[in-house]
Amino acid sequence: MFKLGHNTIERVARFGYGARGIVYCLVGGLALLAAIGQGGRAGDSESAIRWVLAGPFGAVLVGLIAVGLLGFAVWRFIESVTDADRRGTALKGLVVRAAHLLSAAIYTGLAITAGSLALGLSGAGGDAAQDWTAWLLGKPFGLWLVALIGLAVIGGGIAFLIKAFKGDVTDRLKLDADHCRWAKPIGQFGYAARGIAFLIIGGFFIAAAWYQASSEVRGLAGAFAALRAQPYGWILLAVVAAGHFAFGAFGLIQARFRHIDAPDIDQTDDAVAAAFRSVT
């Protein structure tokens, strides 16, 4: 009887890293073209996926991206629940695992969006972040929850910047020192750009809480627009856009060379069941 094992999970994870890498290469590339006035659009992941959809074999390619992003979400979930990366149960490890769980939810949503686009089931789309922010603001203590979300996003941005500054981005790559010399700066540049974007997006949530207006919330496209609006903004946008392209390129490197200690499916099932029991 065919049985799924750790090799299957590893393949899913690598396909996921590759899909995420491609999406951010597109996001960064299109934003960079917009910054230097050569067309393109400084948008978010969904707008990049829509750009692919408009091209040759768009539905097929977007469908593959959707499957890959779902695979990445599955890996993030497994990574968090089973502690596949041996983060441990100290505070830092638990925070990282919680962030991976949140990442799983975000990329599941993006995968569903991409799948809907591939199947022709999605229209122009709205701003989901603004919608659920408005819902939160209408609840008791919602203002404080939105502010906490903003602080958490800012915290994530600071973590990205620290990771870029410390230069430990290649620690989990199966590369020798010579190859790490070229992979490391790509990863550092990418993580730094993501960190800057997170700081700006977190600020939008803080503003939404302060003004009690969900319209203040913006995603990556809003962060790009905020950079473009500054003095010499096209330079700032070009640098951060190039950084997002680097982040995507580093994702492709991770797809090939990241160390993935994937558990067996049975072990994953046991870990998920244990996690479920712990919260019920």
Three-class SS of 169-214: CCCCECCCHHHHHHHHHHHHHHHHHHHHHHHHHHHHHHHHHHHCCH
pLDDT at position 263, please? Answer: 74
pLDDT at position 2, please? Answer: 36
Q: Which residue has the tokens 């790009």?
A: 224
- 136 in Cβ contact with 145 (< 8 Å): yes
Condensed to tens digits (0 to 9), the pLDDT of residues 186-201 reads: 999 999 999 999 999 9
Nearest in space to 20 (alpha carbons), one of 71, 84, 83, 78? 71
Condensed to tens digits (0 to 9), the pLDDT of residues 138-189 reads: 888 889 999 999 999 999 999 999 999 998 899 889 988 888 889 999 999 9
Q: Taking 50 as the threshold, does the pLDDT of residue 4 lie above it?
A: no
pTM of the complete model = 0.88
Q: Where do the structural domains in the chain lie, given as residue ranges?
A: 6-272
Structure tokens at 67: 């499957």
Condensed to tens digits (0 to 9), the pLDDT of residues 61-81 reads: 999 999 999 999 999 999 899
